[in-house]
Amino acid sequence: MFQKIDLNQLLFLDIETVPEKATFDELSETEKELFAAKTQYQRKEDQSPESFYERAGIWAEFGKIVCISVGFFNTLNDGREFRIKSFYGEENKLLVDFKALLENHFSQPAHLLCAHNGKEFDFPYIARRMIIQGIDLPAKLNLFNKKPWEVPHLDTLHLWRFGDYKHYTSLSLMAHVLGIPTPKDDIDGSQVAQVYYEEKNLDRIVIYCEKDVITIAQIVLRLRNQLLLQPQEILHS
């Protein structure tokens, strides 16, 4: 079944998130209490909510999206190309623009969203932030009343699990074992908040996010035993 999926019907994506506020002190007293309660089982006994706040971006209730990068294949007469586009900056606008892309170009039943750990992170995170921002969910993210086989999402982590749901493999590890060039040679996920709030270097985050999208596409090709993308086949919008 996986081999029969038309690559042109896939929208590959990755998101980068940061804490919604730059520092713990900027939270209201209620937000501080809620964050402490949310993280009480993740924090070590001697770790305060304030010292743990740098990780707040992993929760949609306390974080925000600063970049969504997407990529898609386009079959040409003499080959193929992989186009990359990023939505970044103010969260409400990037979510509205991303929704427009889905509704205008990836809304057909055969279209699938593809990410690494997307079913447990990217897809629900985007949906939650859209609701928080007052944006109606596009059909591809509205899973209400859908049966598991009706969910239009493909997850490279799940493909690699082969039914072993205790097994987690990072994108970088999966890329390494499959012989795909390491996606990140600049920053990693733990540094995104620092780059965003301290360096104020959003362009650096966008580049990092786009590299992940390319890697996800390469992994799908590798799982299908197809040739990897070459640099000349990758186009940035």
**pLDDT for the residue 131:** 98
Q: What are phi and psi of 74, to 5 degrees?
A: -135, 120
The residues that bridge with 43 in the sheet, in sequence order, are none
- Tell which CATH classification among 3.40.50.1370, 3.30.70.20, 1.20.120.1200, 3.30.420.10 matches the domain 2-20+62-236: 3.30.420.10
CA–CA dist 161, 165 (Å, integer): 6
The mean per-residue pLDDT over the stretch 14-32 comes to: 97
Domain boundaries, the chain: 2-20+62-236
Is the pLDDT reported for residue 108 higher than 80?
yes
CA–CA dist 19, 58 (Å, integer): 8
**pLDDT for the residue 96:** 98
Tell me which residue of 184, 182, 178, 191 sits closest to 219, measured CA to CA.
178
- 205-230: burial string, b at 16+ Cβ within 10 Å, e else: bbbbbbbbbbbbbbbbbbeeeeeebe
Mean per-residue pLDDT of the chain: 93
Amino acid at 182: T
% of the chain beyond a pLDDT of 70: 98
CB 130 within 8 A of CB 141: yes
Structure confidence by residue, pLDDT tens digits, 211-229:
999 999 999 999 999 999 9
Residue 171 neighbours by CB under 8 Å, 6+ apart: 116, 117, 156, 183, 212, 215, 216, 219
**pLDDT for the residue 71:** 98
Is the pLDDT reported for residue 199 higher than 90?
yes
% of the chain beyond a pLDDT of 90: 81
Confidence band (pLDDT; 50, 70, 90) for 164?
confident
Is the pLDDT reported for residue 183 higher than 60?
no
Which run of H or E residues covers position 132?
A: helix 122-132
- Which of the listed ranges 47-56, 84-93, 146-155 does the model predict with the highest average pLDDT? 84-93
Is the pLDDT reported for residue 184 higher than 70?
no
